[in-house]
Chain A
């Protein structure tokens, strides 16, 4: 008996076609979504714009802070007895946006208001033994996203630079006091002029 060529013998073919069609549609959608920033954290070409803007913003912010002295004030806002930044958490760094000094206030007003999270790290030279570059966290708001950008600025500290926290002694005086400590050692102990060079590095990302 010849099999019927009616409606009932094409189920498998239809299923396979439906799968292929769905696959194509979903692939197209995924590709389209990849090209645009569907969410602030999703990676895409348009995120480059946001990254560029954030980098420029942070870089300009660092430049102005270095120019008016608030950056130096912030890196010297150190509590020598507690071995941490003044008014910071137990870990010695700030874990939230705050206004403890002019630089942090500016970061808070510029970045937090734009829903941008940031980490601030300070790198310094350690010339004792094998020269190396060590770092300390000033602000730690968490782990940056894949679209995080960084900007940095270097500043030079002299031996006569004074701390800006509750202890207002000079760096050379603090270095000579066994009961007090500053995070960066004297990178040029032979001279009374140069103390160290610090690189302030800000990592920003959208929340």
Chain B
């Protein structure tokens, strides 16, 4: 071993010193690396999600609901509204979900909980052709004995203009949709155009109309999504934050001052509801809802939920 003592024979005998310096430098670098690594790892762990696999489970639920939602809408639109079709499609989807999840090392399950609920789909006889809402009369009841209703949209191609109207003028001249409730009282939404904007005002039996929502009318069709509390045009969408659909489930739905607007409508109601018997209104069988059980199991998480899928059902 090299001698590093001061009285060494030669001043160049510094082997041990070099070795110790190298060792010290190496230890220093390793320490810095470890500290850096610890800091990075701590930050990494601190910013991770705390729930194990929660995102995957929620994603499965959301995706399954969307899929069943689409099946119902497609069946109602083009399939004849047969609940059996939706039931068999949901049943067929179950094994596919199983297989998909298995590839990710988790267990996923989608199964039908009971039969699909039948309903009725109400539209104009020519569903896509806009026409005035004044037949069979200026004000008329679309559906009665209503227990459940969903996906109520009105698409307006033309609506009466009123300039800075008073409450009485609105009630007598603006196009209205009335939600009749035998116990909680009626609630009416009035729609009119004022200065290039579609205005929605709400009135009850005891309170005069007050503005709930408004949207720039634009040049095309204006869609009033009553059950979704939204107004939209081809250019924009406005959320009305629970301002349109009544808090209490309606017993009947009426159109008021129907000569003040042209357009189309679509409403899905439960099977026991009694729609108007009129040649201009089409009453088709439809699927109202399907209830599905969704489960997701991974090493760290067991998630089970039952979801009633009824697209466009009010909150």
Q: In the complex, A66→B41 CA distance in Å?
A: 33
Task: Report the minimum CB–CB distance from A155 to chain B (whole Å).
Answer: 7
Interface assignment of A36: CB less than 8 Å from any CB of chain B? yes
- Give A13 to B1 CA distance when docked, in angstroms: 6
Inter-chain CA distance A194–B13, complex, in Å, is: 85
What residues make up the interface of A, taking CB atoms closer than 8 Å to B?
5-7, 10, 13-14, 17-18, 20-22, 24-25, 27-29, 31-32, 34-36, 45-46, 48-49, 52, 59, 66, 123, 125, 131, 133, 153-156, 158, 160, 187-188, 190-194, 196-197, 199
Number of A-B contacts (CB under 8 A): 135
State the CA gap A191–B93 with chains docked (Å): 11
Among A49, A154, A187: residue with most chain B CB under 10 A = A154
Query: Does B79 interact with chain A (Cβ within 8 Å)?
Result: yes
Instruction: Contact check, B2 vs A46: say whether CB atoms are below 8 A apart.
Output: no
User: Which residue from A20, A190, A192 sits with its C-beta under 8 Å from B79?
Assistant: A192
Size bracket of the B interface: 35 or more
Contact at B100–A10, with CB atoms within 8 Å? no
- Name the residue among B25, B70, B99 with the largest chain A CB count within 10 angstroms: B70
Contact check, A45 vs B88: say whether CB atoms are below 8 A apart. no
Given contacts A27-B26, A29-B29, A197-B100, contact A188 B44 (CB under 8 A): no
- Write the B109-121 contact mask toward A (1 if CB under 8 angstroms, else 0): 0000000000000
Q: Which 6 A-B pairs have the closest CB atoms?
A: A21-B22, A28-B26, A156-B67, A28-B29, A193-B89, A32-B33
* Interface class of chain B by DSSP: helix
Contacting residue for B99 out of A36, A48, A133, CB 8 A:
A133
**B238 in contact (CB, < 8 A):** no
B101: nearest residue on chain A (CB-CB)? A154
Known pairs A24-B23, A52-B47. 17 more at Cβ < 8 A?
A7-B9, A7-B13, A24-B25, A24-B26, A28-B25, A35-B37, A36-B33, A45-B37, A48-B41, A133-B99, A191-B88, A191-B92, A192-B85, A193-B71, A194-B93, A197-B96, A199-B100
Min Cβ gap B95→A in Å is 7
- Contact A45 to B100, CB < 8 A, known contacts A7-B10, A28-B29: no
- The residues of B that contact A197 with a CB separation of less than 8 Å are 67, 93, 96-97, 100
Knowing A32-B33, A48-B44, A199-B100 touch, does A160 contact B78 (C-beta < 8 A)?
yes
Q: Is B169 in the interface zone, CB < 8 Å from A?
A: no
Task: Please name all residues of chain A whose beta carbon is closer than 8 Å to the beta carbon of B26 when the two chains form the complex.
Answer: 24-25, 27-28
**A14 and B2 form a contact (CB under 8 A):** yes
User: Which of A18, A46, A131 has the most chain B CB atoms inside 10 A of its CB?
Assistant: A46
Interface string of B202-222 (1 = CB under 8 A from A): 000000000000000000000
